[in-house]
């Protein structure tokens, strides 16, 4: 989506941490999500954060939200080859017309052995 931007590609070595970044423009976002898409597959919900939170941790995943800068990041600790996929951030806006998601452009994560 044109209002949610991500870098296109990230390459990390197995065992290192990965940090995937996302910037958004709409300050009315209520929730922000991270989805994972493996080749030929659907979207798997990884985690989400409410807009009044700064951080959320869930096992190897850490989400950081800087609402002032409209910046969201996903950190994957101890990255494994199975983490290779495209990662999408998405925002849900407080709009009267409903709670459709606006997706970022996706970041392809490649994990090197």
Partner 1 sequence: GEEVAQTPKHLVRGEGQKAKLYCAPIKGHSYVFWYQQVLKNEFKFLISFQNENVFDETGMPKERFSAKCLPNSPCSLEIQATKLEDSAVYFCASSQRGATSNQPQHFGDGTRLSIL
Contact positions vs partner 1 (CB under 8 A):
1, 30-31, 33, 35, 41-45, 48, 50, 86, 88, 90, 92-95, 97-103, 105-106
Token couple for 112 = 């090197």
Task: Please name every residue paired with 95 in a beta bridge, in sequence order, or none if there are none.
Answer: 98
Q: How many residues are present in the chain? A: 113
**Shortest reach from residue 113's CB to partner 1, in Å:** 25
Token couple for 48 = 């989400």
107-112/9-13 β-pairing = parallel
Q: Which is nearer to partner 1, 14 or 105 (CB)?
A: 105
**Shortest reach from residue 67's CB to partner 1, in Å:** 17
């Amino acid at each position: 989506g044109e209002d949610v931007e991500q870098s296109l590609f990230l390459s990390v070595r197995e065992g290192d941490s990965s940090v995937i970044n996302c910037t958004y423009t709409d300050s009315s976002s209520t929730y922000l999500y991270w989805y994972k898409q493996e080749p030929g597959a659907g979207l798997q919900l990884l985690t989400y954060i409410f807009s009044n939170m700064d951080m959320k941790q869930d096992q190897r995943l850490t989400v950081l939200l800087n609402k002032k800068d409209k910046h969201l990041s996903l950190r994957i600790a101890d990255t494994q080859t199975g983490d290779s996929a495209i990662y999408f951030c998405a925002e849900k806006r407080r709009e009267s017309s409903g709670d459709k998601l606006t997706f970022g452009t996706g970041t392809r994560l490649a994990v090197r052995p």
